[in-house]
Structure 1
Amino acid sequence: DFYQARMALYEAARRGKDKNVVAYKPVPADRLYFSHDDVQAALATHAVGLLSVFQEGDEEAAALNAGAMRGRDFSDARARQDVDLYGAIKEYAATDQAVNKRVMIACYSQGSADRIAGLLRAHGIDTTMLAKNWEEARKLDPKLIALAVLGLEHGFVAPDLALITEQDILGDRLVRQTRKKKASAQFQLELGSLNPGDFVVHTEHGIGRYEGLETINALGTMHDCIRLIYDGGDKLFVPVENIDVLSRYASAEAGAVLDKLGGVAWQARKARVKKRLLDIADGLLKIAAQRLLKSGEVIEVQEGVYQEFAARFPYNETDDQEQSIQAVLDDLASGKPMDRLVCGDVGFGKTEVALRAAFAAVQAGLQVAVVVPTTLLARQHYHNFVQRFAGFPVRIAQLSRMVTIKEAKEAKDQLNSGKIDIVVGTHAILSKELKFQRLGLVIIDEEQHFGVKQKEQLKELRADVHVLTLTATPIPRTLQLALTGVRELSLITTPPVDRLAVSTYVLPSDPMVIREALMREHYRGGQSFYVCPRIEDLASVSAELRELVPELKLIAAHGRMSATELDDIMTAFDANKFDVLLATNIIESGLDIPNANTIILHRADMFGLAQLYQLRGRVGRAKQRGYAYFTYNPRAPLSSTAQQRLEVISTLDQLGAGFQLASHDMDIRGTGNLLGEEQSGHIREVGIELYQQMLEDAVAAVKAGTGDMGMTAIADDRWTPQINIGLSVLIPETYVTDLNVRLGLYRRLAEGNEDSEAIAAEMVDRFGPLPVEVENLLQTVAIKQLCRKAGVAKLDAGAKGAVVGFYQDKFARPDLLIQWITKQAGTVKVRPDQKLVLLRTWDDMTRRLEGLKKSLEELAACADAH
């Protein structure tokens, strides 16, 4: 594919007629690169060895048996609670060393080698040695376990060697299977970091202004803290390991009213929102309960005719697609009204799920309504449905601006009389004037693009009929949890077979690059989109393009055109009568023209991140590689937010990136609207992230039947321990120079959703060996997690022991706590204020950390005992 792309580029440049554009003499691709045929010809002149785990080929062919076999996989030990993983490794190594075999561990990177060595030492395996390479490892004392960076997935055993890999030991914990994918998610998390002046929400103190990171000297140890300013200039310093108590509220430009530190206004606002959220949660669950109480149409597929319809799908279904289709068919056959959300990235095959559901409903004698947000998408779905249902006795109509008043009236009458089986249209379908004779299924595509009013109308449908909703905008994790039990969810996260990721370029607008891109697409028989942010840009851009690529046929489209004109333009472009479609972002939603595989955005900095992502999804939808060029005016400085958006979209260019993008970006994920318009006011009061968290709590409390007290208990369970163990805790600026990257790393560690060992390994790879302060940070995070498990809200430790304060002065199992204190033989005292004093002699920091971990692990075991 790379070679073919280079050849296409060369052809585009060579055939360029405008000498002002092609300002260089291109070099033929075959002078720079080997083609596949070249490689095969070169191999044909040499003896080629085949590596195999089997005896292959002719018996008389030369074969060398290396005597190697597959090594031990420790996944069984890793999965079982009653087996010590590191004990199993120690035993395995000792067995091999006893017969003079050298034992090696192959790691993916220097960072993971360091971390694995640390893990082995922590579990009593201290006979390890790091080696730079294979040769150095083989020279080490055979009694040592050698660790080296070797790109192997699985271990093996040879006559003189037993090799274990990182993956054999840890599974996928430290494996970066797709470096780019992981790097993209991390970049997005770091992008979600704060800029000075941004407004943030502290769960306990409300809205403050972020002023930066400050290193504080606390009793002789250096500690990084987040500095927040509140009303009246009051300052609050939040230790970096507790950064998870903060969530972003708005950028500096948005403006917000600061809360008073220690004031009552914030708690009052939270209480007001909480009360309203309990009502919302109650409403959500009532809708869910009503659906469970109501009986829906039982729709069972007729296998023979259904398989005939399914066989028309021109691709192989992905596993996710098959699971989603089966889930929908099971819902339809359950006898309860379906309310399922199918969430999948652009071009991942959600429409096929809808087609199968529609076929099942029509075969059962029911009518189907397909509701979409735009006329172009209505037109496309209409053509898709007509094409797929051709030959079946199914009548399909369209209701949108694309049809005449006479045709619309005729369609409405036929829907009322039952003569039409499937109607595809915009929100006109939701009109109260429209009557169905036997509506059984409503399919809603791109729900996130509907306005509040339309969403209210859609909700009215939900209590009676089967509803299938399709969306390319992924649901934030917290909102997804909040909706558990309210709507069923299917995710399509795997791309179709043979789908290639869209190659993405962000660059200043350059006539030569634009010409090459458009001509290259033309020479490979394809078409291109050229998208402008405003209708008024179309005329000037059209004139430039006609001068730049006179060989190509150009046509323009925008939303202010009449429905007939727009339909004619799209039909002509779909029929390959034009090479370039110059348009506004009306092509953003779900448009599928497989032959158009290059898209160029004029002034990409003026589009939102969701729009950039959706527009890129218009190309690369077949087996051809898609190309996306996001251009900006080189003479106009980019705003910082526009630059960040363009950086994100260029970084996230692999398939399925929408799901990564959704986890930390407000712009693309949207907030949804669950039960009405007033939500936005409450979101403004507490911020979107805290709002979603509170909504999740409210749903859980209402489901449990505990109401306000239950919601308070759930929220209380999200406390953060306060820790002071005399360590300097920070990521030094000399180690990670970029402030946003540091903040991103702090947040990832504080949230505890990722393995801290994996983050540490990544840091070694990105920035070099870990400084002492970062090692301290990792230790502090580990102790913080143990404190949470043990119910310890405050921990102060020094050379002579520690003071332990429990959350709300309570312990989950007081009886076991008393037993534990008794066993400590006078080294633990209980103070009148209910705090425990651990009397210890910790001469050095290593002993202090080990002692704290041991005590906290024992307390956690007591608290967790059933």
Structure 2
Amino acid sequence: RDMSLILTPPDNRRPVEVHVGEWDVDVVSEAIRRELQRGGQVYYVSNRVRTIDEAVERVGAAAAEARVGVAHGKMTKEELERVMEDFSAGAIDVLVATTIIESGIDNPHTNTLIIEDSQRLGLAQMYQLKGRVGRSSVQAYAYFMFPDNISLTEEAMARLDAINEHRDLGSGMRVAMRDLEIRGAGSLLGAEQSGNMSGVGFDLFAQMLSQAVANAREGASGEDAMLPPALSDITVNFPEHTYIPEEYVSDADARVLLYRKLACADTPSVVEELREQTSERYGAMPQACANMFAKSLVRAWANEHGVKLVGVSAGKLTVEPVDVPKDALPSLRRASGRYVAQSGKLVLPLKYFGLKEGESLIAAVHEFLTNLSEGTVAPSKDVSRPSSARRNR
């Protein structure tokens, strides 16, 4: 979706000064007393209800003169309302609270935020809490503290580094992108969000997704805007890596365009032409890219011969539906292959191909399928020898 960013802050608004470090009673004491001396108030966030009374004691030890109030989600509505009214009226100097304050609170007199155990909070949550202070022209301070007796996880350190780095006003989008990098994008390409991607493969999925987005933006819904149904219905699955490495085609737009062209290549001649063009432009292909073109050749062959499935699983090749010449059946059966003429399903153990280390399974399967359609299937490399020859090996 298109998105607009508001990057211009209100007049006289100042960035919040951020401090990230271990919990230190002297630092907390100085922060609270500095705020009280200028007539302000303090949020002290301790996000555990069962230990919030201990947090009150720590605040009292740091600044005994401060008037302290408590707010958390297990209090009744009346209790919360009374505490917040006292805080807004200035009868409370330090509000010790859980993250219940992260939304809906707008108190311009509160310009110091102290969070203990900040390593437990998410990056977006810390950024939201930081937004509770600095809501006027007064300089605000935010302290993100963590215990000195525990080791921080790598993700926790990354979150704290991010909140310390992105201090400028209007940095919410950068924080959100950093949060996405740290946490990951979830199951973006999984079955929960992307449906049949495992069935069509990434290249075809990218093409279908791109066209769906373009159609939604343009309001198009005609069949001419979609991939040919014959290609969309073909499933080609191999365990080998099939992608275009960034080191080979560095430009992202060029890679996506090549993926799209391969996804639409419905004949082997089109795939071969793309292979020649790519090799001429970028040089010799790495194995993953060569596998990508071999896979496209298999799909193009399947499109020409009405095959809907070419896949490898559990050490076996499955092709369905396919016509197998009678002359080829003895060789396939000697390799423990099975062919059901009624459904046109062929299941063939991979040992039939007798591949050596480094040889491409996809290329071997494409050669086999081509020979199969031409009626020139070669005998098995592994199992066609007489039993006596195998015993004497």
For residues 13-57 of structure 1, give each alpha carbon's deviation from its aligned partner in whole angstroms, at most 9, with x where no partner exists: xxxxxxxxxxxxxxxxxxxxxxxxxxxxxxxxxxxxxxxxxxxxx
Distance between the aligned counterparts of 1:683 and 1:649, measured in 2?
30
Q: Which amino acid is the alignment partner of residue 250 of structure 2?
A: V
**Is 1:589 the counterpart of 2:103 in the alignment?**
yes
Aligned to 2:192: 682
Structure 1: state its 5+ residue gaps: 1-479, 482-488, 672-679, 724-749, 751-776, 794-804, 812-829, 843-847, 851-866
Which among 197, 212, 220 is matched to residue 704 of structure 1?
220
SS at match of 2:174: helix
CA distance in 2 between partners of 1:806 and 1:786 (Å): 12
The residue that corresponds to 1:559 in the other structure is: 73
For 1:781, the equivalent position in structure 2 comes to 250
Distance 2:136 2:168 in 1: 15
What does 1:70-149 correspond to in 2, within 5 Å? none
Deviation of residue 546 (structure 1)? 1.3
Distance 1:835 1:693, change over 3 A: closer
Tell me, in whole angstroms, the C-alpha distance in 1 between the residues paired with 2:95 and 2:271.
Answer: 78
Q: Distance in 1 between matches of 2:130 and 2:39?
A: 20
- Structure 1 residue 617 and structure 2 residue 131: aligned? yes
Check if 1:600 corresponds to 2:114: yes
TM value normalised by structure 2 = 0.55
Distance 2:121 2:72 in 1: 16
Q: Work out whether residues 792 and 807 of structure 1, in 8 Å CA contact, stay in contact via their aligned partners in 2.
A: yes
**How many pairs were matched up?**
259
| Aligned partner (choices 144, 147, 150) of residue 633 of structure 1 | 147
Matched with 2:88 is 574
Question: Does the alignment pair 1:517 with 2:31?
Answer: yes
TM-score by length of 1: 0.26
Structure-2 separation of matches of 1:692 and 1:806: 11
Structure 1 residue 491, shift from structure 2 partner: 4.1
Q: CA–CA distance in 1 between the matches of 2:196 and 2:176?
A: 20
Partner of 1:113: none
Q: What is the aligned partner in structure 2 of residue 258 from structure 1?
A: none
Corresponding residue number in structure 1 for 2:296: none
Q: Distance in 2 between matches of 1:630 and 1:580?
A: 16
1:544 aligns with 2:54: no
Pick closer, same or farther for the CA change 1:685–1:627 going to 2, 3 Å.
Answer: farther
Task: Report matched runs for 1:790-801 at 5 Å.
Answer: none
Distance 1:699 1:539 in 2: 53
Any idea what SS the aligned residue of 1:600 has? strand
Superposition pairs of residues 652-663 of structure 1, within 5 angstroms? 652-663=166-177
Amino acid at match of 1:495: P
Determine helix, strand or coil for the equivalent of 1:555. Answer: strand
Partner SS state of residue 69, structure 2: strand
Give 1:493 deviation, angstroms: 2.8
On the 8 A contact 2:124/2:176 being kept in 1, the answer is: no
CA contact (8 A) 1:701 1:708 kept: no
Q: 1:665 to 1:510 in 2, by over 3 A?
A: same
d(CA) in 2 for partners of 1:712 and 1:701? Answer: 15
Q: 1:686 to 1:550 in 2, by over 3 A?
A: farther
2:12 & 2:142 partners in 1: Cα distance? 19
Cα distance in 1, alignment partners of residues 194 and 266 from structure 2? 35
Change in CA separation of 1:710 and 1:833 when aligned onto 2, cut-off 3 Å: closer
Q: Go from structure 1 to structure 2 and tell me whether the alpha carbon gap of 1:569 and 1:810 turns closer, same or farther (over 3 Å shift).
A: same
Amino acid in the other structure paired with 2:164? S
SS at match of 2:149: coil
Deviations 1:758-794 (A, max 9, x none): xxxxxxxxxxxxxxxxxxx6x9525x755766x598x
The structure with the largest strand share of the pair is 1
Structure 2 unaligned blocks of 5 or more: 233-241, 284-393
- Kindly indicate whether the alpha-carbon contact (under 8 Å) linking 1:701 and 1:711 is maintained by their aligned counterparts in 2: no
Identity of aligned residues (%): 33
Q: Structure 1 665/685 Cα, relative in aligned 2: closer, same or farther at 3 Å? A: farther
- Conserved 8 A contact 1:529-1:599: yes
Matched, 1:527 2:41: yes
